[in-house]
Structures are given as C-alpha cells and as structure tokens.
Chains A and B, each alone.
Chain A
Amino acid sequence: MIKTRTIILSLALAALATTASAQVFTGEHKYDGEHKNELSGYFMGGNNVVVQGYGGLAASYKYHLTDRWTVGGDAQAQLGKQLYSVDAKGGYRLPFKFLDFYFDATLLYNRYERWKANEKIANLSVTVESPYLYLRVGESYIRWSIRDFGYTEPLTLTFGFGAQMRPRWNSWNVGIFFRNYDDFYFENWNINWGLNFYGRINSTMNFFGEFNIRPAGSMSQLASKYETSGKLGIKYVW
C-alpha cells in the first residue's frame, strides 16, 4: 500500500514539475506561447470497403489570437472517395495545474461527390490534456443530404482517448489513440484506433504521422474491417 502511495505521489510531482519546464512546440496541442501561426499539411492514403484504394492531401492552419484563443481552418481532397472537405475552428485553452482544458468549436462541410451527397457538422468538444494522456468528449449536430433528401442527426457523442510514451514536450513521441472521429468526420459509435507519432526536425518544424484502423460495427460488438489509412505530414510554425 505504501508502495502504491509513493508511486502516485512521484507521478503527481513529476506532472507538476513539467508545468515549470520551458514549454516548446510539440505538434499536437501544447502551445509555447511564442509563435502565432501553425501550418501543417499531410498526405493520406488508405483502403476502404466501399471505394477500395484512396489517397489525398490535407492542409491545416491555426492562428493564435492570444496564448488562450485560437482560430483556424482545414481542408482536404481525397481521390478515390471523391471526398472534399473544409472546416472552420475556434478554441479556448484553460490551463489548470498540470492540465490544459481545450474548448473547441468546429463547423465542417463534406462533399461526397461520388454519391452527390453533402454533410454539415457542428461540433463542440472539451479536451483535457496531461503530459502523457488526453481525453476528449463532445457533441456533434449532423445534417446530411443526398439528392432531394435531407436528414438530421442531432446528437452524436464525440469521445477520444490517447496516451503517449513520452511527455508532450519531448522531441519525439509515439502514442496510441481510441476515438470516434478523425480530422474530417465524426462517427456514430465506430471506434477508430491506431498509432501516431511525431519527431522534431528543428525548432519550427515537426514531422508527424498516423496509422488508423477504422472498423464498422464496434458497438454491435462485431467490429469488422472497414478502413485502414495512414497519414504523413509536416507542421511549421512561425
């Protein structure tokens, strides 16, 4: 019992100590308080049940209005799926001890050209992030349409969990994640999981990547292969 207490106390002290360290840009969330702009781009490729092979490009831009407030936008084009997406985002960061709370709002538009279908999503999420772990919960309001028909899904829970081998400010990292969303979709109870990583190229540039398994039927307890994909990209800040 004493041993357990010692371990917990050591972890808490280590976590608190990290807040005192000089923060450096690490790629995912943590902000160094110095740069104003983040620009990233990545290649993606994958295979899915419906379209088989696909690939594309995505780009993302974020502007730090202050060290708390951000705005930004993302876009992607996926060949094969013929999926084109744009979004606009805004967020607020609330530091609390060794944790950061992120309150994010996203407006996303997807055009599924292959089926002449549209999807509009409004998402509100809260992410709590520690040096090694993050947890995200939120809600999506989804409106999709195909030909003359439109349908609203007013309530879709967003959830995500990730863990990293090294603290978030380390020059490299490898992590795992479980979540029901990705950069350009919010799912209904299908749990993606996979590995992600980043490495520092220099003080303003990171490379990053991800391997993602997107099953169908997770909550039907028959998770089956639906899509596997990978991303590889670079993030630049100034």
Chain B
Amino acid sequence: MRNMKYTLLAAVAAIVFTSCDKVSPIGVLVSGTGVEDRVKMSSKYYDEHKNDFRYLVAKGDYSFLVGADSHMTTDDGRMAEMLQIGFDHGDLFWAHLGDIADTKAEYYVTLEDVITEFRKKYAEKHFEEVYVGQEGNEYQMNSEEFYVYVDNVADMVYTLDNVPLPFYPVVGNHDITHNGWALWSNIFHSSFYQVPIIVLDANENIVALDHLIFLDSASGTLGREQVKLIEEGIMDGKEIEKENGVKIRNTFVFSHTNIFRPRSVEFASTFPREEMFFLLDKFAEWNANIVFLGHVHKWDHQTVNGIEYLTLDSMSEDNNPEPGDYLVRVNCKLDGTNSWEHVHMNYTPKK
C-alpha cells in the first residue's frame, strides 16, 4: 500500500515537472531544437526572401525601440504597449530580444493577433489602402483579404499578411523549448538576419548607411554553422556597402543570450568562455555601436573598448508586474551621433 502511495506520488511529481510550460527537463542535457538546423533554415529563408528583409529608409534623424523577454502568455498588454509606444513616437522600427512568448500554441495565437493588429495600423499609416474585391459586395467590404496596401514610394503592393511591419525579433530559449521553433518560425521565419538602413538627407540623397545584425543565440551558443557564416563575412556589411556605395556608419547588434552577469546568482546559461571572447572580438571588428542583450531579466550597462552593451530587463507583465523603464529607445542623429534612453511602460496585468 505504501509502495503504491510512493509510486503515485512520484508519477504525479513527474507529470507536474514535465508539464510545466517553462521547464524542459531533458533539454538540460540534449536539445530538441538544434541551433545548427535553425541557422541553416534561417539562412536559406533569408537568401530566398531577401526582398522581405527590405532596406529601411530613414529621412534625417531616426529612432528605434528595443524590448526584451516579454514571455507572453494569454495577456498581450505589454507587447501591445511596446508596439503602441513605438507607433505613437514614430520610431523607425521595433527590436525584440527574444523569449517573446512562452512555448504554447495558444500563446503564439495571441502574439500573432497583436502583431497583425499593428501590421494593419502600420499599413494604414504608411500605405494607401485599396479595395480589390468585387464592387457592390458589402460582405467583401468588411473582409481584410479584399484590401491591398500600396507603397507608392517603393512601388510595392502588399496584402495585410505581407505588410512589412518593421518588428525585428531575435529568438530566445523560451521561444523554442518543447520544439517551439515551428511556432516561432511560422510568424518570424528567420532567426539569423541583417537589415540595412539607408539614411537620406533633406534632399533625399543617401548620406549614411546603418546596419542591424540579429543573431540566433537562443541555445547559449551560436553553433558551428552561424560561426562559420560570420567568419565568412556574411554579417560584415561589405556587400551592403558595395551595393550602396556608402560606408556603414552605425552598427547595432541584437542577441538573446547575455554576455555579462548582472545577477551574481543567475540560474541561466551564458556563452562558454571562448565563444564569449570570440563575440566580443567580432563586435569590435564590426565596429558595433551598441550590442543589445536579454535573457537574464536584469538591467546592465557596460562599455567594452568603446562598444556599449545594454542588457535589458524583462518587459513581461508576469516577471515585472509593476510599471517600469523596461524599454530602450535609441536616437540616431543625421550628424552620426547617437544616444539612448529608457522608456517607461505603464501597463499592469489584468487581475
């Protein structure tokens, strides 16, 4: 009888442990979603859809907004707030440092809904909405699939699904435990990519080129394939400079896994030592201005040989329910100087 009790207790403990959303016990020793496969898929997608990662165009000064570790579940409050803040301020783009949602299909449905809502807002603000359904069909008039969005500057036409909302995430470990890569990549497609920013002056002449680099560090290592591609120079911006005939001015790098350890006791893996030195060296070679990091849920600011490293606190309503300065905005001036500031979030979770 007692044996039966212990067996039942062990079974219940095992079920509770393995069914927890945030825990993947086997992942401590062996991963279900390999960084090598993710990077190969991402590189292939990037090569085949280069036009989707189109150039951003900034006229004069511009700014962008960065958030981290939203760990979205059923409440989209903070994610919607981040998008709205950037939308209201006129930021050129949003960047998210990973762990955007915990791995459950329904959380990703919530995430996709909020992204779609802001894709529509963005399209309505920046493009011309054109009805392409049948004339006189009032049912179609209410259906989004019968509208397209015309970008008269770039001479492009988008359906709502294809509107290029400049929201750039990197993948985090919680995005893809329990084989969640399928969910994440279904929305964001690539975890290793770059985006150039063409900066125009008042006369619409190209005066500068800025460079955004997004790394897949969710596994605590870049993996051999990503290191190999980086060493081959895929991210050094030479090709972009050649295409535009302008030297890169600012480089901003985005990674989920942190380099520094602002928490003395951090129950999370950082990069192995050699890889950390490799990255610090590589960021210096890229002349990076700012490297953005997440993962550890604690704010930290370091300057290493002229490069600023900002580790952002979690913007999650679960981890940080009180309002706070969880976002960072970077202001890039036409004269080449840039600065950053904290941005306050007010949303508190629904009780």
The answer on a CB contact under 8 Å between A50 and B269 is no
Which of B194-202, B260-268, B310-318, B338-346 contacts its partner?
B260-268
Chain B's closest residue to A83 (CB) is B274
How far is A117 from B264 in the complex, measured between Cα atoms in Å? 22
Min distance, Cβ B207 to any Cβ of chain A, angstroms = 32
Q: How many residues of A contact B (CB 8 A)?
A: 45
The answer on a CB contact under 8 Å between A226 and B305 is no
Min distance, Cβ A78 to any Cβ of chain B, angstroms = 10
Min distance, Cβ B37 to any Cβ of chain A, angstroms = 10
Taking A49-B221, A149-B304, A154-B264 as contacts, is the C-beta distance between A221 and B23 under 8 angstroms?
Answer: yes
The answer on a CB contact under 8 Å between B270 and A50 is no
15 contacts between A and B (CB under 8 A): A49-B222, A49-B224, A50-B278, A51-B274, A112-B273, A149-B302, A191-B29, A214-B272, A216-B220, A216-B272, A219-B267, A220-B220, A222-B218, A223-B30, A225-B223
Complex interface bits, B9-38 against A, C-beta within 8 A gives 1, otherwise 0: 000000000000001110111110111100
**Among candidates A52, A193, A215, A222, residue contacting B177 with C-beta atoms closer than 8 Å:** A222
How far is A226 from B271 in the complex, measured between Cα atoms in Å? 10
The answer on a CB contact under 8 Å between A222 and B266 is no
Which chain B residues lie closer than 8 Å to A147 at the CB level?
Answer: 284, 304-305
How far is A151 from B35 in the complex, measured between Cα atoms in Å? 28
The answer on a CB contact under 8 Å between A115 and B280 is yes
How far is A154 from B263 in the complex, measured between Cα atoms in Å? 10
Q: Residue B277 at the A interface, CB < 8 A?
A: yes
Q: Residue A227 at the B interface, CB < 8 A?
A: yes
Which chain A residues lie closer than 8 Å to B222 at the CB level?
Answer: 49
Q: Residue B275 at the A interface, CB < 8 A?
A: yes
The answer on a CB contact under 8 Å between A218 and B29 is yes
Which chain A residues lie closer than 8 Å to B269 at the CB level?
Answer: 188-190, 216-220
The answer on a CB contact under 8 Å between B29 and A223 is yes
**Among candidates A81, A155, A189, residue contacting B274 with C-beta atoms closer than 8 Å:** A81
Chain B's closest residue to A151 (CB) is B260
Which chain A residues lie closer than 8 Å to B266 at the CB level?
Answer: 188-189
The answer on a CB contact under 8 Å between B221 and A226 is yes
New A-B pairs, 6, CB < 8 Å, besides A149-B304, A153-B261: A51-B274, A149-B303, A217-B220, A218-B220, A222-B35, A223-B28
The answer on a CB contact under 8 Å between A217 and B278 is no
Q: Residue A185 at the B interface, CB < 8 A?
A: yes
- List of 5 A-B pairs having minimum Cβ-Cβ separation, nearest first: A217-B220, A221-B27, A216-B221, A220-B173, A115-B277
The answer on a CB contact under 8 Å between A146 and B281 is yes
**Among candidates A1, A149, A216, A218, residue contacting B271 with C-beta atoms closer than 8 Å:** A216
How far is A218 from B222 in the complex, measured between Cα atoms in Å? 14
Q: Residue B219 at the A interface, CB < 8 A?
A: yes
The answer on a CB contact under 8 Å between A226 and B272 is yes
Question: Which residues of B line the A interface, CB within 8 A?
Answer: 2, 23-25, 27-31, 33-36, 173, 176-177, 218-224, 227, 257, 260-261, 264-275, 277-278, 280-281, 284, 295, 302-305
Q: Residue A48 at the B interface, CB < 8 A?
A: yes
The answer on a CB contact under 8 Å between B220 and A222 is yes
**Among candidates B264, B267, B274, B304, residue contacting A48 with C-beta atoms closer than 8 Å:** B274
The answer on a CB contact under 8 Å between B270 and A222 is no
Q: Residue A148 at the B interface, CB < 8 A?
A: yes
**Among candidates A117, A219, A221, A225, residue contacting B277 with C-beta atoms closer than 8 Å:** A117
Min distance, Cβ A116 to any Cβ of chain B, angstroms = 8
Which chain B residues lie closer than 8 Å to A38 at the CB level?
Answer: none
Most buried by A among B2, B34, B177, B275: B275
Which chain A residues lie closer than 8 Å to B261 at the CB level?
Answer: 153, 188
The answer on a CB contact under 8 Å between B264 and A221 is no
Q: Residue A187 at the B interface, CB < 8 A?
A: yes
The answer on a CB contact under 8 Å between A189 and B173 is no
Min distance, Cβ B60 to any Cβ of chain A, angstroms = 34
Q: Residue A119 at the B interface, CB < 8 A?
A: yes
Which chain A residues lie closer than 8 Å to B173 at the CB level?
Answer: 217, 220-222
How far is A86 from B149 in the complex, measured between Cα atoms in Å? 65
